[in-house]
């Protein structure tokens, strides 16, 4: 009877050992997965940069506000009716400034939707790959360092292609 129990325990141990190795193999992140993840990070960064340029353009080229100086004056007084009256903020300027605030408020949601779309797209990254790589870079400092380096390389290539 002891031999049967020992044999059963040995068999169970070998089975668990093989399963653990299989899980470890499944969790290994490939270079291709790292590259896809890094590309999504760079694409998102480029998208945010584009939105920021759009915001700056919206402020500096606003015909009602007349540029960044007036924008900053209104920003400093915004929410304080006495200060706004002191700098003679017109109703048109209020509407223009509110439009800029609305754009800034919506930016975060737009960026989240953009990045989520990239992640969900299996040809670009895919949710499973995103989760796998994200877990790896959170748990393994070497993977995080490799990802940061890869992102920097891709940004340099992207900047070089854009110029």
User: Rounded CA gap, 13 and 10, in Å?
Assistant: 5
Q: Please name which of 120, 75, 113 lies closest in space to residue 93, comparing C-alpha atoms.
A: 75
User: Could you tell me if residue 18 is inside a domain?
Assistant: no
- Contact criterion met (CB below 8 Å) for 160 and 51: no
d(CA 11, CA 14): 5
CA dihedral 149, 154, 158, 160 (to 10 degrees): 60
pLDDT classification of 153: cutoffs 50, 70, 90:
very high
Whether residue 17 is contained in a domain is answered as no
Full residue range of the structural domain in which residue 155 is found? 30-162
Split into its structural domains, the chain has a count of 1
Instruction: Name the phi and psi angles at 127, rounded to 5.
Output: -65, -45
Q: Is residue 21 part of a domain?
A: no
What average pLDDT does the chain have?
Answer: 86
Can you give the pLDDT at residue 137? 95
Residue 73 lies in a domain: yes
Which residue would you say has higher pLDDT here, 25 or 74?
A: 74
* CA dihedral over 109, 115, 44, 114, signed as positive or negative: negative
Specify if 156 maps to a domain: yes
For residues 152, 153, 155 and 158, what is the CA-based torsion angle, rounded to 10 degrees? 180
Kindly report, residue by residue over 81-117, the tens digit of the pLDDT. 999 999 999 999 999 999 999 999 999 999 999 999 9
User: Residue 130 domain-assigned?
Assistant: yes
Q: What's the Cα-to-Cα distance from 19 to each of 13, 23, 32, 136, rounded to whole Å?
A: 10, 6, 25, 20
127 found inside a domain:
yes
User: In the prediction, which pLDDT does 150 show?
Assistant: 94
**Percent of the chain at pLDDT above 70?**
81
Say yes or no to pLDDT of 1 above 90: no
Is 14 domain-assigned? no
């Amino acid at each position: 009877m002891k031999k049967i129990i020992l044999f059963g325990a040995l068999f169970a141990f070998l089975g668990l050992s093989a399963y653990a190795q299989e899980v470890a193999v499944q969790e290994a992140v490939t270079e291709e997965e790292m590259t896809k993840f890094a590309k999504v990070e760079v694409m998102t960064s480029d998208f945010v940069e584009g939105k920021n340029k759009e915001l700056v353009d919206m402020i500096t080229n606003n015909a009602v506000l007349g540029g960044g100086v007036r924008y900053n004056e209104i920003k400093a007084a915004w929410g304080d009716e006495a200060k706004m009256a002191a700098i003679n903020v017109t109703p048109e300027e209020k509407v223009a400034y509110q439009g800029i605030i609305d754009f800034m408020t919506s930016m975060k949601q737009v960026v989240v939707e953009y990045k989520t779309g990239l992640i969900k797209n299996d040809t670009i990254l895919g949710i499973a790959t995103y989760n796998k790589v994200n877990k790896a870079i959170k748990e393994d400092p070497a993977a995080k360092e490799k990802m940061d380096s890869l992102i920097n390389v891709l940004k340099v290539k992207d900047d070089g292609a854009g110029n």
